[in-house]
Amino acid sequence: MNRRKLLQAIGGTTLASYFSGAAEAQNVAPPAATSGWQNWSKSLPSSGAQITAPRDLAGLKQLITSADGPVRPVGAGHSWMPLVPSDYAIVKLDHFAAVSDIDTKAQTAWIGAGARLHDVSPILAQSGLAFRNLGDIDVQTLAGATSTATHGTGRNLSCLSAEILGLRMVTGDGDEIEISATQNADMLAGARVGLGSLGVLTEIKMQLVARHKLHRRVWFMPHDALLAQANKLWETHRNFEFFYIPFSGMSMCIAHDETQAADTPRAADESDDAVAQLKALRDYVAWFPALRKRLLGWAIGAAPEENVVGESWQLLSSARNTLFNEMEYHLPEDVGLAALEEVRHYIEAHRADVFFPFETRMTQADDNWLSPFQGARRMSLAVHCYHADEYQFLFTHVEPILRKYGGRPHWGKLNSLSGSDFAALYPQWQAFADMRRRLDPRGRMLNPYLTRLFDGAA
């Protein structure tokens, strides 16, 4: 929701001055961590485990085999689920970030598991390559992003994990293994989305595409009109998504399509200011829904369309500096919009405090065991809450709607599902649990949350 357009729409009119002095249009800096490790939004309790960044494979193996208890790998800490916390050891792969064996013909490369996506893209571009797709942000590590099936949007575009051709890891027993088309190939579909529960990944071989430019178009539509055209828009555009702006009756549409056109200047990303403006409206007129809707509609109605051309990796992702908590479910394609409408009606009737737009995206099917997109294309619906706001209603009211429609949660985002719930959603759940046990027979990769998921223990 970080598009400049929203700011122009909301802040570019007299709205900002209408609420002058009250708009709080400043970035919300992350609070300082008290101690130990915490996730991006600080939603998880601080974990006191020692954080270690081994310099090489020998150091990593030594850490895994000598730690007093389970070892949990961490990427950029951008997950909300307690996948990382550990009482013993947290391992960072900062020193495993090189890009090697770039094959420009096959469009592949081995990439260090701890490499940040935003650092990899410019390196790939120098060789004429790029990731096929990216999500809203690109600060994640490659291992972190792929271990939870991180996705962008595009009817014919898969999640990042589906682009994995090979994995190198140190298992919970300290063994080095490769899983690829030529080694341990039977484990590849299971290991692509592994939640860091199989071992510590050190390198990942990715299928890439030729470096390409995209034309981004951002525009607003009345939400009802958008619903009628949404499927057509997904069929027409390489990447299409939309953000419903709560209490406005309007949605912001974003499309990206390949182009050879000349680059256009990039405007500064002012999304945090846009979010602050939405928050200000919530703070001052939440209890006057008709006024809130009129002000939002008035601001959005005056917004011009945005058109930008640039490198794919420079346009697809952007910065998110305002902290929030998020639930995202991946829904069967044919019921995704119905689920959105039910969530929207609930929030607009009962949750005047919500102001972050709801994000709706589409991802192509794959056949990876724990991929939420396993078996069929899915429409993803994400609801965000400001980090300082109470978000229990996501579990009590939003999640039941998303589950009723057959949704599978994003592995890294808020959900309350148990191992038996996941077993019912994933046909290969047991096969994954068996493979996990083979690779980590002593449970060295399991923290309490993962233990509950895979071993059903309390």
446 makes contact with ligand FAD (CB under 6 A): no
DSSP state string for 398-428: IHHHHHHTT-EE-TTS-----HHHHHHH-TT
Instruction: Please report how close the Cβ of residue 225 comes to ligand FAD at its closest, in angstroms.
Output: 25
Instruction: State the residue for tokens 């990042």.
Output: 160
- Tell me whether residue 91 or residue 295 sits nearer to ligand FAD (CB atom): 91
Query: Rounded distance, CA 52 to CA 92, Å?
Result: 6
Query: Rounded distance, CA 252 to CA 396, Å?
Result: 27
Instruction: Please report how close the Cβ of residue 219 comes to ligand FAD at its closest, in angstroms.
Output: 20
- Tell me whether residue 20 or residue 100 sits nearer to ligand FAD (CB atom): 100
- Tell me whether residue 200 or residue 214 sits nearer to ligand FAD (CB atom): 200
- Tell me whether residue 47 or residue 141 sits nearer to ligand FAD (CB atom): 141
Instruction: Determine which residue in the list 3, 42, 78, 215 makes contact with ligand FAD, applying CB under 6 A.
Output: 78
- Tell me whether residue 61 or residue 293 sits nearer to ligand FAD (CB atom): 61
Pairing mode, strands 71-74 and 108-112: unpaired
How many C-beta atoms surround the C-beta of residue 101 within 10 A?
10
253 burial via Cβ count (<10 Å: 0-12, 13-18, 19+): buried
Binding mask 26-45 for ligand FAD (x = CB under 6 A): --------------x-----
- Tell me whether residue 16 or residue 368 sits nearer to ligand FAD (CB atom): 368
- Tell me whether residue 330 or residue 403 sits nearer to ligand FAD (CB atom): 330
Residue list 145-204, contact with ligand FAD (CB under 6 A)? 145, 147-148, 150-151, 195-196, 200-201
208 makes contact with ligand FAD (CB under 6 A): no
- Please name which of 3, 25, 30 lies closest in space to residue 321, comparing C-alpha atoms: 30
Instruction: Please report how close the Cβ of residue 295 comes to ligand FAD at its closest, in angstroms.
Output: 27
230 makes contact with ligand FAD (CB under 6 A): no
Q: How far is CA 33 from CA 60, 75, 83, 401, in A?
A: 26, 17, 18, 34
Query: Rounded distance, CA 154 to CA 157, Å?
Result: 5
Of the candidate spans 100-108, 140-148, 275-283, 414-422, the one that interacts with ligand FAD by CB under 6 A turns out to be 140-148
- Tell me whether residue 15 or residue 86 sits nearer to ligand FAD (CB atom): 86
- Please name which of 176, 182, 183 lies closest in space to residue 56, comparing C-alpha atoms: 176
224-228 LR contacts (CB < 8 Å, sep 24+): 224/249, 226/251, 226/253, 227/337, 227/341
414 makes contact with ligand FAD (CB under 6 A): no
Residue list 363-392, contact with ligand FAD (CB under 6 A)? none
8 makes contact with ligand FAD (CB under 6 A): no
357 makes contact with ligand FAD (CB under 6 A): no
Amino acid at 114: G
Do 111 and 203 meet the contact criterion of CB atoms below 8 Å apart? yes
Residue 3 C-beta-side C-alpha neighbours within 13 Å: 29
- Tell me whether residue 135 or residue 407 sits nearer to ligand FAD (CB atom): 135
Strands (E), 136-186: 164-171, 176-180
Instruction: Determine which residue in the list 3, 5, 42, 72 makes contact with ligand FAD, applying CB under 6 A.
Output: 72
221 makes contact with ligand FAD (CB under 6 A): no
143 makes contact with ligand FAD (CB under 6 A): yes
Instruction: Please report how close the Cβ of residue 451 comes to ligand FAD at its closest, in angstroms.
Output: 13
The tokens for 405 are 């429609």
23 makes contact with ligand FAD (CB under 6 A): no
Instruction: Determine which residue in the list 9, 93, 343, 383 makes contact with ligand FAD, applying CB under 6 A.
Output: 93
Instruction: Determine which residue in the list 12, 82, 144, 154 makes contact with ligand FAD, applying CB under 6 A.
Output: 144
Of the candidate spans 30-38, 76-84, 275-283, 429-437, the one that interacts with ligand FAD by CB under 6 A turns out to be 76-84
Instruction: Please report how close the Cβ of residue 136 comes to ligand FAD at its closest, in angstroms.
Output: 3
Q: How far is CA 332 from CA 36, 135, 158, 338, 380, in A?
A: 39, 20, 15, 10, 9
Helix, strand, coil tally for the chain in percent (to 5): 35, 25, 40
DSSP code of residue 395: I
Please report, as ranges, the residues that interact with ligand FAD according to CB under 6 A: 40, 72-79, 83-84, 93, 113-114, 135-137, 140-141, 143-145, 147-148, 150-151, 195-196, 200-201, 320, 410, 412
